[in-house]
Amino acid sequence: MKIYHNPRCSKSRQTLQLIKDAKVEVEIVEYLNEIPTKEELKIILMKLNLQPKDIVRQGELIYKEKFKNSNFTNEEWLQILIENPILIERPIVVKGNKAILGRPPENVLDLL
């Protein structure tokens, strides 16, 4: 199991705690420091069954200032997410061929 984690985010911390409480081995990727590649993001999105725009944090200031009300292709959104990883919704938990967004954190229970 792998979690794309931001330790400053309460939902991310709560999701990680649920995984630890279940005594499941987990790889922690602090994605703001270890930014996923475009290929990694594509695989994650396929496992989430979502499009790049679906995992954009629209409440972030940079989104509101630079990207709101813009029409981008999926490839363009992937590049935006790589260049601005703060915009990637968190946490994302991946297990095998499935992934979930940990919002709410209890979503992770489906993978445990």
* Number of domains present in the structure of the chain: 1
Which mean pLDDT values do the consecutive 10-residue runs of the chain (112 residues) have?
Answer: 97 97 97 96 98 97 95 97 97 97 95 93
Per-residue pLDDT tens over the stretch 80-92: 999 999 999 999 9
The pair of structure tokens assigned to 33 is 């420091």
Residues marked active site are found at: 9
Amino acid (one-letter) located at 13: R
Per-residue pLDDT tens over the stretch 46-64: 999 999 999 999 999 999 9
- How high does pLDDT run on average in the chain? 97
Q: What is the pTM of this model?
A: 0.94
User: What percentage of the chain's residues is helix, strand, coil (to nearest 5)?
Assistant: 50, 15, 35
Domain range spanning residue 16? 2-111
User: What sign does the CA torsion over 83, 47, 103, 15 have?
Assistant: negative
Domain holding 63: CATH number? 3.40.30.10
